[in-house]
Amino acid sequence: MYDLIVKNGQVVSPSSTVQCDIAVKDGKIAALGKFGDSEADRVIDAAGKYVLPGGVEAHMHCQAPFQGCLGANDFFEQSVSAAYGGVTTFMDFANMGKGDSPFQQALARAEEMKDSAIDFSVHGKFVESTEEAIADIDKMAAYGIPTFKMFMTYKKEGVMSDEETMLRVFYKAKEVGGLPMLHCEDNTIAEANIEECRKKNDMSWVNFAKCKPVLCEAAAFSKAAYLAKYTQCPILVVHTTNEDALNTARRAHAEGQPVYVETGTHYLTLFDDIYEREDGYLAICSPPLRTPEDAKALWKGIEDGTILLTGSDDCTFDVDEKSAFLEKGPDGKWVQDFTKVVNGLSGIEIRLPVLLSEGVQKGRISINKVCALTSTNIAKIYGCYPQKGIIAPGSDADLVIVDMEKEVTLSKDTLHNNISYCLHEGFQVKGYPVMTIARGSVIIENGAFTGEKGAGRFLKRKIAPDYLKQYGLD
Ligand code: DUC
Ligand code: ZN
Ligand code: ZN
């Protein structure tokens, strides 16, 4: 007797869409095939709908002290919002300052995440390369934390890794089967530009984007790719926004160099014209929003396989945090100073619908590609495949049922985070997750959360050596 059967759905993997039933027992997928209703305690009819492996979100910053702010969701709330967006596993980063132990901070982060309703994991973070810090890489990898984040900017915030740190982490990560993750923006370029704006006394939202242009990101991407080549270490570059950076990745891929590339749905759907608005500060994030032409290059990068992953980079800074350090002038308008605005946007709940609607419905990509970009590829490269990321016997029964006919107007009122604005307010999507199942339990159904606080488990990860040696996830 099975616990659950999801029947008649179109079951999606990166390489196929097949109509079949999914039988679930003890939180795992027991079998695929054709089953009778009497064979399970509960039967869900997914006729006319698609069933995808639950989303894996490996890039978010929840309750992460940054630029004087923290974010409005706690980890339980974050997991509920994620689940509404079809996400059944998420990962966050250790909070790090100089002198902290990366391993201890990663463990502390895992502890903070334990109220989550969905499974979770943690990435290490490096801000310096003391002997003790580097030695922690062994401990993290052995514990099931093989991914380590480094920022190539945010020097003033005290979280930038210099080149020495990057090199040392790369060498050690390579030794233990680890994968460094890079936020690529050249700090020197950004700071010099900010200084120029300061001299001209023009710290407008628009100038924020100009201070961190495409080449600021591409220069750092190139540096990271060459250091990775030199050390023969695989890397993953997060939130890539432009063609220059993608071309560096393409050159690396042509040589087989494992440089994995993520982009964010905000870079596909939101553009830098928002910075011209009075409330443009709400869209301040790093890298900044770019142009529609840059977004076109990203869709091309997704189509040709240069970009294999998507992440939301979710930060739930509400209006009060975004504006906490700003002042209003005599005209009642904001005195624009982008250096006083915390960087970050929300988006964990809308990654899947945006890709279904802007990607599949508009004929840019297949639903199989959406499966790869939101789940399978992420599980593979972050080392939790095939436990996560695929609908196959033996895998966790993490499923998201998608109705491609469902139309939703994105709005702060339709989303489930604790923030009172939505940069996609009024954005129409067609194709939406309607049910989310995490390890066999239905956690979103009929628009309601039916999961449990604390039901999520810490996920130990190990990356397949093949993915680290040579570019590609096959
Ligand atoms: N970018 C953001 O916009 N926010 C958090 C950190 C980051 O890299
Ligand atoms: Zn970043
Ligand atoms: Zn980030």
Per-residue model confidence as pLDDT tens for the chain (474 residues): 999 999 999 999 999 999 999 999 999 999 999 999 999 999 999 999 999 999 999 999 999 999 999 999 999 999 999 999 999 999 999 999 999 999 999 999 999 999 999 999 999 999 999 999 999 999 999 999 999 999 999 999 999 999 999 999 999 999 999 999 999 999 999 999 999 999 999 999 999 999 999 999 999 999 999 999 999 999 999 999 999 999 999 999 999 999 999 999 999 999 999 999 999 999 999 999 999 999 999 999 999 999 999 999 999 999 999 999 999 999 999 999 999 999 999 999 999 999 999 999 999 999 999 999 999 999 999 999 999 999 999 999 999 999 999 999 999 999 999 999 999 999 999 999 999 999 999 999 999 999 999 999 999 999 999 999 999 999
Pocket of ligand 1 (CB under 6 A): 61, 66, 183, 285-286, 313, 315, 343-344
- For residue 62, the model assigns a pLDDT of 98
| Residues, Cβ < 5 Å to ion ligand 2 | 183
- Please tell me the number of the ligand nearest to residue 58's CA: 3
pLDDT at 172 (0 to 100): 98
Domains of the chain plus CATH, in order, are: 54-75+120-349 (3.20.20.140)
Nearest ligand by distance to the CA of 343: 1
Residues paired with residue 401 on neighbouring β-strands, in sequence order: 51, 435
Residue 321 confidence (pLDDT): 98
Cα-to-centroid distance, 343 and ligand 2 (Å): 9
Q: Whose CA is nearest to atom 5 of ligand 1?
A: 344
Q: What confidence score (pLDDT) does residue 241 get?
A: 99
- Going by CA atoms, what residue is nearest to atom 2 of ligand 1? 344
- Which atom of ligand 1 is nearest the CA belonging to 154? 8
Closest residue to atom 4 of ligand 1, CA basis: 344
Distance 238 CA to ligand 2 centre (A): 7
pLDDT at 260: 99
Task: Report if pTM > 0.95.
Answer: yes
Per-residue pLDDT at 400: 99
Residue 183 alpha carbon, nearest atom of ligand 1: 8
Q: How far apart are CA 110 and CA 266, in angstroms?
A: 27
For ligand 1, atom 8, name the residue with the nearest CA: 286
Secondary structure (H, E, C), the chain: CEEEEEEEEEEECCCCEEEEEEEEECCEEEEEECCCHHHEEEEEECCCCEEEECEEECCECCCCCECCECCCCCHHHHHHHHHHCCEEEEEEECCCCCCCCHHHHHHHHHHHHHHCCCEEEEEEECCCCCHHHHHHHHHHHHHCCCEEEEECCCCCCCCECCHHHHHHHHHHHHHHCCEEEEECCCHHHHHHHHHHHHHCCCECHHHHHHHCCHHHHHHHHHHHHHHHHHHCCCEEECCCCCHHHHHHHHHHHHCCCCEEEEECHHHHHCCHHHHHCCCHHHHCCCCCCCCHHHHHHHHHHHHCCCCCEECCCECCCCHHHHCCCCCECCCCCECCEHHHCCCCECCCCCHHHHHHHHHHHCCCCCHHHHHHHHHHHHHHHHCCCCCCCCCCCCCECCEEEEEEEEEEECCCCCCCCCCCCCCCCCCEEEEEEEEEEECCEEEEECCEECCCCCCCCECCCCCCHHHHHCCCCC
Residue ID of nearest Cα to ligand 1 atom 7: 286
Ligand nearest to the CA of 64: 1
Residue located nearest, by CA, to atom 1 of ligand 1: 286
Ligand 1 centroid, distance to 312 Cα (angstroms): 10
Place of tokens 């029964």: 397
Q: Tell me the CA–centroid distance for residue 452 and ligand 2, in Å.
A: 30
Q: Ligand 1 atom closest to Cα of 238?
A: 8
Give the CA count within 13 Å in the CB-facing half-sphere of 135. Answer: 5
